[in-house]
Structure 1
Amino acid sequence: MSDRAAAGRPLWVTALLLALSVLMIVVFVLLGNWQVRRLAWKQELIAAVETRAFGPAVALPEHFDAGRHAYLRVAVDGRWLDREAVLVKAVTELGPGYWVMSPMQTGGGILWVNRGFVPADARDPANWSIAQSPVTGLLRPTAQGGTLLERNDPQSGRWVSRDTVALSDSLGLGATLPYFIDADHRGAPAAWPRGGLTILRFSNSHLSYALTWYAMAVLFALGLAYVLRSSRRKDEAD
């Protein structure tokens, strides 16, 4: 903007632009602080998950708390129900296919077990290994409703998330636990379903995000200081 344009600009416009610039600097700093807090939370989560997932298998918790028990390694014995497994759409490191979800009767209610992954060409149960008990694996909270892009459709038997209560309702089962187990792999290495595919790697880019927001705050502050200094020099020259 030329000096002539700046000179003809009303004072309230200049004050508004300065206020907005200061507000942007404050917002960038707050966003950086938020990312720092997210960084601390993510580091605590990673440490907690590693401790739970790779520790010795324990019994199912009496009162499930997702914050405390997600990815906890457990061992449970129960009775597999004589029901056809439900296939839930999945994309894994092995490619697209399905999770094989099977219900098990336990003392605490119906427990859904993710026996593992099968590709589309192996979705026939005749290609699967026999379900065994006890089951060892990682606790996962139920995933209600579906995903951001798709919804479960129990009427047509189309599932995109592992919603334990909805799965039980679709089969007319009783009281159901609010979690499922990602089972470890059983049987031959190449057998289906392929268990043990739980993703335990969490992206952690919060530090780079925080530095980006702080850098933007510094750049805005430097730009504002330059404009104020230039304006002051112009006033002194005039």
Structure 2
Amino acid sequence: MGRLWFLLTIGLIGTVILVSLGVWQVQRLAWKQGMLARIEAQISADPVPLAEALDPEFRRYAPVEITGRFGQSHIRMLASRKTTGAVYRIIRPFRTDDGASILIDTGWQVQARDVVDAPQTRLTLTGNLDAPQEADGFTPDPDTKGNIWFARDVPAMAAALGTDPVLVVLRDAPETDLGVTPWPVDSAGIPNDHLQYAITWFSLAVIWVGMTLYFLRRTRRPVAKG
């Protein structure tokens, strides 16, 4: 009888823990979906002046409209697109009419194509503020001779191009050919695996219950006498 109660207790405790983890992931799923909806709404909102998006604090994904001129330098950052393969993101310096000097992620181009010179005319651009966290301890140092970077390290790129550490990802450049395809900000890169996690925990709970019933049945089975 003692063994029976032990197995039943372990089975109940394990089931409660696994079901609780599954319920927690369902709650996290609802929270993440709400967050993604808010981000998408912010991304697609009407653009505001850059100063408004930075004051009183930096608002990631805030849509902005900026007017000014591109600098003549650029950075190529190695990236990958599912349907294209390896490409370069082209990051350029941009000086706004109000004197701000920032980075513009203009978009992507295939590796074999030469980077075109940015137009030196006064332009009005629309994009979104971003603060990508792509660089880590495993990211190679930039190839300064080949002008190839391997992550959007905003502070380092700003230092290299002589701008403030502010990045705007281009959404639209009306009637302007920058020689790239825009790669606008979206929420696709934000992971949302909570449904899979919930299914995993609930599945483990079902398996745990099945194993508990199996061992309880074996324990209660009478031992055959010879």
Structure whose residues are more often helix by fraction: 1
Change (3 A) 1:214 1:98: same
Change (3 A) 1:89 1:186: same
* Offset at residue 44 of structure 1 (A): 1.3
Q: 2:125·2:172 contact (CA, 8 Å) conserved in 1? A: no
Question: 2:142 aligned to 153, 156, 162, which one?
Answer: 153
Structure 2: gaps (5+ residues): none
Identity %: 25
Report the aligned-residue RMSD: 3.5
**Residue of structure 2 in register with 1:207 after alignment:** 195
* Offset at residue 74 of structure 1 (A): 1.2
Could you tell me the TM-score, scaled by structure 2's length?
0.75
Equivalents in 2 of 1:46, 1:72: separation in Å?
14
Q: Which has the higher contact order (CA 8 A, sep 6+)?
A: 2
SS class of match (1:70): coil
**Residue of structure 1 in register with 2:90 after alignment:** 100
Cα deviations by residue, 1:163-205 (Å, 9 ceiling, x for unpaired): 221012224x25x23x411112436698621114434435644
**Residue of structure 1 in register with 2:170 after alignment:** 183
- The answer to whether the aligner puts 1:86 opposite 2:75 as a matched pair is yes
Question: 2:182 aligned to 191, 195, 210, which one?
Answer: 195
- The answer to whether the aligner puts 1:226 opposite 2:210 as a matched pair is no
**Residue of structure 2 in register with 1:52 after alignment:** 42
- The one-letter amino acid of 2:106's match is R
* Offset at residue 112 of structure 1 (A): 0.7
Cα deviations by residue, 1:49-80 (Å, 9 ceiling, x for unpaired): 22112211112321445xxx332221122443
Change (3 A) 1:121 1:189: farther
* Offset at residue 18 of structure 1 (A): 7.7
**Residue of structure 2 in register with 1:3 after alignment:** none
* Offset at residue 47 of structure 1 (A): 0.8
**Residue of structure 1 in register with 2:205 after alignment:** 217
Q: 2:8·2:216 contact (CA, 8 Å) conserved in 1? A: no
Equivalents in 2 of 1:210, 1:108: separation in Å?
50
| Aligned pairs (5 A) from 1:19-168 | 24-60=14-50, 61=53, 62-65=55-58, 69-81=59-71, 83-92=72-81, 93-106=83-96, 107=98, 109-126=100-117, 133-143=123-133, 145-146=135-136, 150-153=139-142, 155-156=144-145, 157-168=147-158
Is 103-112 or 161-170 further displaced after alignment?
A: 103-112
Is 25-34 or 94-103 further displaced after alignment?
A: 25-34
Change (3 A) 1:33 1:64: farther
* Offset at residue 108 of structure 1 (A): 7.5
SS class of match (2:92): strand
**Residue of structure 2 in register with 1:4 after alignment:** none
Change (3 A) 1:101 1:112: same
SS class of match (1:121): coil
* Offset at residue 145 of structure 1 (A): 2.7
Equivalents in 1 of 2:168, 2:93: separation in Å?
10
Change (3 A) 1:226 1:75: same
